[in-house]
C-alpha cells in the first residue's frame, strides 16, 4: 500500500504540473470513454445488482443500480466539469513587499485525497472528475456491493487516459476494509480523507487516523419556531425538512417552539406531522399540551433519527433555543422561522453551525442547491472548508515570493530599508 501511494503521490505531482488545457482534454477523454463503454458498465452493474438483490434494502438497491439515464447524466456531468474554469494557479493576493520583491498567494491542489463512499457507483466518476479538474491525486474506495461496477469504472478510466501523454498514476481504486486501515496509516502520503456513509463509519475514521478528515459524523439539525413565526409557513417548512428525504443528513430532527405560541402551535404542527406518518416525541410541556407523547429523555436531545421521527421541545426564549442548538446540535444546519428581524439576526449571529437558515427548509443545505456545482461532502468542523463543500475544498494555496537578490539583513539592524507593502491588482 505505501509503495502504491508513494507512486500515486508522484503521479499527482505530474498532474498538478500539467496545463489547464491538458486537464480539460483528459476530462473530455474520460467522458468519451464512459460513453463508449456504457454497455459494459451497465452489464457489470447488473451483476452487482443481481448478486445483492436479496440482501439490500430497497433504497440501497436503488442507489446501487445504474440506469442508462444515470450513465448519460454522469457523462454530461463530466463534460460540465470540463467546461468549468480551471481553479489552479489563481492569484488570491499579490503584494509588492519592495521594489523587485513581489509576493503572490496562489491556489494549488491539496495533493492526494482519499474518498471512501457507499455502494453508489455514480460517485466514482463525479469524484474522479473533480479530482482531475482540481489537479489532485485520488484514492477511490467504493462500497463492497458495487465491486463489479467499481472495477469496470476503474478500467474505463484507465482506458480513457491510456494514450494520453500524462501517466495515469494519479488515481487508483482500492478494495476491502484492510486496505482502508492501511491507508489511514499513511498520513504522510494522503492530504485529506473524505468519508461518505454512516455516522459510525465517519467517526471511526476521525478517531483512527491522523489524516485530516472532511465530513460530518452527524446531522442533528434544528428548526426553531419563534413567537413571531407565521404558523402556516412554519408547519409547511417543518414538514418539508422532516419528510422530503428523512434519511438525509440535512433533515430536521428537533423542532424548538417558543413558549408563547406553544399552546396554539404545537397541536397544529402535531396534527400535520402525524398526517404525514411522522412519529412524535416531545418534552414534558408538549406532553401537557398534547395529552400524550413519547417523552424525550434529557440525554436524547442529540439523537439523529434519520427517519420519520421528530422531537418537539418548548423553550422559554430565543436565547434558550440558541443554547439548545449549540449544546445538542452537530453544527451542520439549523434554522429559525420568524418574522422578527432582530430575532433572526441574533439567531444567525449566535448559532455556531456551518449553515444557519432563516425561513426556509434545512434541506437546502447541499452543494448543488447552494450553487457550488458538484459536492465532495459536507463539513461540520471549523477549519478548512465547512458546510457543503465544492471544488474549493480540494484546493489550498502556497506563497510564492519572487525577488532579485534581496536579503533580510537589509531590512533590519541600524538604518534598515523599509518595506513598501503595496497591494497590487490580482
Question: Considering only residues 130-189, where is the footprint of its own copies by CB under 8 A?
Answer: none
Q: Is 287 exposed, middle or buried (0-12, 13-18, 19+ CB in 10 A)?
A: middle
Which CB, 120 or 332, lies closer to its own copies?
332
Which CB, 402 or 426, lies closer to its own copies?
402
**Minimum gap (Å) between residue 95 Cβ and its own copies:** 5
Place of cell 492501511: 182
**Among 21, 371, 414, 418, which residue interacts with its own copies (rule: CB under 8 A)?**
371
Interface region with its own copies, contact rule CB under 8 A, candidates 123-131, 139-147, 234-242, 280-288: 234-242
Question: Considering only residues 328-367, where is the footprint of its own copies by CB under 8 A?
Answer: 344, 346, 348-350, 352-361, 363-365
Cell numbers given for 131: 479530482
Which CB, 178 or 349, lies closer to its own copies?
349
Which CB, 147 or 362, lies closer to its own copies?
362
C-alpha separations of 260 from 214, 263, 301, 317 in Å? 40, 8, 22, 9
Which CB, 163 or 398, lies closer to its own copies?
398
| 233 contributes a contact to its own copies by CB under 8 A | yes
| 237 contributes a contact to its own copies by CB under 8 A | yes
**Minimum gap (Å) between residue 399 Cβ and its own copies:** 5
| 204 contributes a contact to its own copies by CB under 8 A | no
Which CB, 167 or 176, lies closer to its own copies?
167
Which CB, 175 or 340, lies closer to its own copies?
340
**Among 1, 4, 7, 13, which residue interacts with its own copies (rule: CB under 8 A)?**
13
Alpha-carbon span 298 to 313, nearest angstrom = 11
**Minimum gap (Å) between residue 12 Cβ and its own copies:** 10
C-alpha separations of 72 from 48, 69, 301 in Å? 19, 5, 43
Question: Considering only residues 93-132, where is the footprint of its own copies by CB under 8 A?
Answer: 95, 97, 101, 103, 110-111
By C-alpha distance, which of 39, 11, 244 is closest to 109?
11
Helix (H, G, I), strand (E, B) or coil at 265: helix
**Minimum gap (Å) between residue 401 Cβ and its own copies:** 5
Alpha-carbon span 167 to 8, nearest angstrom = 10
Which CB, 182 or 236, lies closer to its own copies?
236
**Minimum gap (Å) between residue 387 Cβ and its own copies:** 5
Helix (H, G, I), strand (E, B) or coil at 178: helix
Question: CB within 8 A of 405, min separation 6: which ones?
Answer: none
Query: Is residue 211 a contact partner of residue 193, using CB atoms and an 8 Å limit?
Result: yes
Question: Considering only residues 376-415, where is the footprint of its own copies by CB under 8 A?
Answer: 381-384, 386-388, 396-409, 411-412
Query: Is residue 196 a contact partner of residue 377, using CB atoms and an 8 Å limit?
Result: yes
Under rule CB under 8 A, how many of the chain's residues touch its own copies? 68
Which CB, 204 or 411, lies closer to its own copies?
411
Query: Is residue 102 a contact partner of residue 407, using CB atoms and an 8 Å limit?
Result: no
Total length of the chain = 426
Cell numbers given for 205: 475514521
**Among 2, 17, 62, 342, which residue interacts with its own copies (rule: CB under 8 A)?**
17
By C-alpha distance, which of 245, 280, 198 is closest to 363?
245
Cell numbers given for 317: 426564549
DSSP characters for 233-245? HHHHHHHHHHHSS
Q: Is 111 left (phi over 0), alpha (psi -120 to 50) or beta?
A: left
**Minimum gap (Å) between residue 373 Cβ and its own copies:** 9
**Minimum gap (Å) between residue 135 Cβ and its own copies:** 11
DSSP characters for 191-254? SEEEE-S-HHHHHHHHHS-SS-B-S-S---EEEEE-TTS-HHHHHHHHHHHHHSSTTSTTSEEE
Alpha-carbon span 325 to 224, nearest angstrom = 9
Place of cell 466514482: 124
Question: Considering only residues 67-96, where is the footprint of its own copies by CB under 8 A?
Answer: 95
Which CB, 19 or 274, lies closer to its own copies?
19
Per-residue x/- track, 281-320, its own copies (CB under 8 A): ----------------------------------------
**Minimum gap (Å) between residue 103 Cβ and its own copies:** 6
Alpha-carbon span 184 to 182, nearest angstrom = 5
Which residues of the chain form contacts with its own copies (CB under 8 A)? Answer: 13, 16-17, 95, 97, 101, 103, 110-111, 191-192, 212, 230, 233, 236-237, 239-241, 244-245, 326, 344, 346, 348-350, 352-361, 363-365, 369-371, 381-384, 386-388, 396-409, 411-412, 419, 421
Amino acid at each position: 500500500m505505501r509503495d502504491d501511494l508513494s507512486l500515486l503521490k508522484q503521479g499527482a505531482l505530474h498532474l498538478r504540473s500539467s496545463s489547464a488545457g491538458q486537464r480539460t482534454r483528459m476530462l473530455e477523454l474520460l467522458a468519451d470513454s464512459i460513453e463508449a463503454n456504457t454497455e459494459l458498465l451497465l452489464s457489470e452493474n447488473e451483476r452487482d445488482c443481481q448478486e445483492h438483490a436479496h440482501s439490500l434494502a430497497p433504497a440501497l438497491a436503488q442507489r446501487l443500480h445504474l440506469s442508462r439515464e444515470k450513465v448519460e447524466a454522469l457523462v454530461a456531468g463530466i463534460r460540465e466539469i470540463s467546461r468549468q474554469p480551471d481553479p489552479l494557479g489563481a492569484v488570491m493576493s499579490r503584494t509588492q513587499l519592495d521594489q523587485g520583491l513581489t509576493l503572490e498567494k496562489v491556489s494549488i491542489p491539496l495533493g492526494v485525497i482519499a474518498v471512501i463512499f457507499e455502494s453508489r457507483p455514480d460517485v466514482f466518476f463525479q469524484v474522479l472528475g473533480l479530482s482531475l479538474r482540481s489537479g489532485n491525486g485520488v484514492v477511490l474506495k467504493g462500497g463492497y456491493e458495487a465491486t463489479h461496477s467499481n472495477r469496470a469504472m476503474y478500467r474505463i478510466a484507465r482506458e480513457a487516459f491510456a494514450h494520453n501523454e500524462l501517466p495515469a498514476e494519479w488515481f487508483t481504486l482500492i478494495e476491502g476494509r484492510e486496505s482502508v486501515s492501511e491507508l489511514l496509516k499513511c498520513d504522510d502520503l494522503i492530504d485529506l480523507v473524505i468519508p461518505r456513509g454512516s455516522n459510525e463509519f465517519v467517526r471511526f475514521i476521525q478517531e483512527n487516523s491522523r489524516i485530516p478528515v472532511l465530513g460530518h459524523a452527524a446531522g442533528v439539525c434544528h428548526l426553531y419556531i419563534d413567537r413571531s413565526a407565521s404558523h402556516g409557513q412554519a408547519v409547511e417548512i417543518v414538514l418539508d425538512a422532516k419528510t422530503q428525504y428523512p434519511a438525509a443528513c440535512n433533515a430536521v430532527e428537533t423542532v424548538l417552539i417558543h413558549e408563547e405560541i406553544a399552546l396554539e402551535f404545537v397541536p397544529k404542527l402535531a396534527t400535520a406531522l402525524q398526517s404525514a406518518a411522522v412519529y412524535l416525541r416531545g418534552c414534558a410541556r408538549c406532553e401537557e399540551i398534547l395529552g400524550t407523547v413519547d417523552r424525550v429523555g434529557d440525554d436524547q436531545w442529540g439523537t439523529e433519527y434519520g427517519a420519520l421521527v421528530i422531537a418537539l421541545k418548548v423553550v422559554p426564549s430565543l436565547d434558550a433555543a440558541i443554547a439548545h442548538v449549540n449544546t445538542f446540535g452537530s453544527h451542520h444546519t439549523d434554522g429559525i422561522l420568524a418574522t422578527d428581524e432582530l430575532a433572526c439576526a441574533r439567531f444567525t449571529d449566535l448559532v455556531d453551525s456551518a449553515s444557519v437558515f432563516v425561513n426556509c427548509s434545512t434541506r437546502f443545505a447541499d452543494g448543488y442547491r447552494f450553487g457550488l456545482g458538484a459536492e465532495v461532502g459536507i463539513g461540520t468542523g471549523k477549519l478548512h472548508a465547512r458546510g457543503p463543500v465544492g471544488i474549493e475544498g480540494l484546493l489550498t494555496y502556497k506563497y510564492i515570493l519572487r525577488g532579485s537578490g534581496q536579503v533580510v539583513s537589509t531590512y533590519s539592524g541600524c538604518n534598515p530599508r523599509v518595506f513598501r507593502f503595496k497591494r497590487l491588482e490580482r
